[in-house]
Amino acid sequence: MGQWRRLAKEAIDRTLIVAKFFGFLHVTSTYLCSSNLVLGPSMLPTLNLTGDVVISEHVSHRLGKLGRGDLVLVRSPENPRKIMTKRIVGMEGDRVTFFLDPNFAERCRTAVVPKGHVWIQGDNIYASNDSRHFGPVPYGLIQGKVFFRVWPPDGFGYLE
């Protein structure tokens, strides 16, 4: 009977170690930093069409430390299952002028970013679904700030 008790105790101890490890991974990737694969044409030429692996931190947006020009991960207001990478172009209170169709400069509009929102756009205005289509994005949809590219190797380093 003592041998079974010892085996059960060892199994419980190992299970707790694994559970703590997964808990640590969850907290780290949710509240500190995570790696993300970014695909698609909307952030050309900053990010590659075929995909970049980037590191994003999840502290700045919680402290209100984001600004114009920052690359951010944003939960899509149109499809909550989708996470997009875009650039902040306007903060609350800013007046943003944008083209409805980049091919026709005379078709532009101006919007004021409301309190608690940001205006996001892709760097490739010809192939980006962004605030020009769905309007200002609530600050709460921001998931993190992208700051470092780890793949591909020729693009390794901090992102502007």
Give the CATH architecture of domain 33-158: Ribbon (2.10)
| Neighbouring C-alpha atoms within 13 Å toward the C-beta of 51 | 4
Higher per-residue pLDDT: 73 or 2: 73
Task: Say if residues 10 and 36 touch (Cβ distance below 8 Å).
Answer: no
Task: Please name which of 124, 115, 118 lies closest in space to residue 73, comparing C-alpha atoms.
Answer: 118
- Does the pLDDT value for residue 113 go beyond 90? yes
Is 65 catalytic? The answer is no
Mean pLDDT (whole number) for 133-152: 91
Torsion of CA 33, 49, 131, 28, to 10 degrees: -10
Of residues 86, 128, 131, 145, which has the active-site annotation? Answer: 86
Q: 37-79: per-residue pLDDT in tens? A: 998 888 988 888 888 999 999 988 888 889 999 999 999 999 9
Domains of the chain by residue range: 33-158
- Does the pLDDT value for residue 34 go beyond 80? yes
Q: What pLDDT score was predicted for residue 4?
A: 87
Measured CA to CA, the distance from residue 116 to residue 135 in angstroms comes to 13
Of residues 9, 29, 35, 42, which has the active-site annotation? Answer: 42
What tokens does 10 get?
Answer: 């060892």
Is 86 catalytic? The answer is yes
